[in-house]
Amino acid sequence: MDMKILIIADPLDTLKAAGDTGLAFAQKALKSQAFVHWCTPKDLSLMSGVPYVTANPLNPFSPKEQPESDLPEVLRLDSFDTIWVRKDPPFDSIYLSMCWILTLVQTKVLILNSPSHLLHYHEKLLPFLAFQEGDLNEDQLIPTFLSLGNKIEGNFGDGQLVSKPWMGHGGQGVNIHPSLEDLLHKAKTFSEPMMIQPLVKAVQQTGDRRVFFLEGKYVGSFVRIPQDGSYISNMAQGGSVRSQALTEVEQKTIHDVENFLIRHSIFLVGIDLLDGKVSEMNITAPTGAFPLLELEQIDLPQLYFSAVKKRLKEFKSNLK
């Protein structure tokens, strides 16, 4: 079967080929003789109730090489076998509209992760849903306060605090506050909802762990270390990576997360563990395929493509 794939992501010319996981997925698919088109959310359209996309066909390319594409084509969304959503937040009106349009074809096309999941499972909220459903306990979460206004409550102790944009991503907009008094003063200037957490100082020495799950099962992980003087370990913010054995606490948390993901049928997830506690569950566009391969010899793009083929076969069988 010649698989026809649409990848929705950021513009090709804005991506770093040496580190972009979406491009690694595309390269693996093309190597397997699939047809791959690339677009951005703004390339989607709706005409008389039919969803369309203006997308560029990708030519085969080597790993870590910037791909070349042919002239864009206007195609019906339901002409694809599978659509891979690799668009990073922010969760703005374009992102939400992309998901709403995709829901119109999700019974005809295998969409990963599904627009229903993307709309329902906010990556910063998912750990607390797992807590509410009994998969994670309070000790496996970082104490968190979220207000949709500027009101700050909660007992955070006397240490430093972190504020994170509720709709942010990639470590952008994260600020460290030396005290609650400083946070309360700065909160007056917040222009968007912010999450408030105590600072996990261990991240400077031990980093945070990016953990990958596919079909709800643990695939592999690596540790990200912040730059000197920083608490932000995201690779996009200058963090470095290393291989490190899982602790017993991390193994227990990973097992508990598996139960949650399998029950909700979430396909691809990258979670972040800070000092063994779950910080986020990224289902939008988790990154890290290249470090996972280089540090742990785990080929995530190959595992992903194989899992897609299996799920697509089941999906099409159910359509008959």
Mean pLDDT, contiguous 10-residue spans, the chain (320 residues):
92 93 97 97 97 98 93 98 93 93 97 94 90 97 85 78 82 85 86 88 84 98 81 62 95 97 96 92 94 97 97 91
- 126-138+202-282 and 4-120+302-319 share a CATH fold: no
* Cα–Cα dist 134/261, whole Å: 13
> Angle of helix 300-319 relative to helix 289-296, nearest 10 degrees?
120
- Residue 180: DSSP 8-state: H
Q: How far are the Cα atoms of 143, 151, 152, 166, 183 from residue 180, in angstroms, in the given order?
A: 15, 12, 9, 19, 5
pLDDT for 55:
98
Output the pTM of the full model. 0.91
CATH architecture, domain defined by 4-120+302-319: 3-Layer(aba) Sandwich (3.40)
Tell me the torsion sign for CA atoms 259, 86, 75, 35: negative
3-state class (DSSP) for residue 317 = helix
pLDDT for 231:
56
In this structure, which CATH number among 1.10.10.60, 3.30.9.10, 3.30.470.20, 3.30.1330.10 belongs to the domain 126-138+202-282? 3.30.470.20
pLDDT for 85:
97
Q: Residue ranges of the domains in the chain? A: 4-120+302-319, 126-138+202-282, 144-198
Q: Which of 88, 114, 86 is nearest to 99 (CA)?
A: 114
* Cα–Cα dist 156/47, whole Å: 51
pLDDT for 1:
58
Check if the beta carbon of residue 1 is closer than 8 Å to that of residue 33.
no
Check if the beta carbon of residue 82 is closer than 8 Å to that of residue 2.
no
φ/ψ of 200, rounded to 5, equals -90, 95
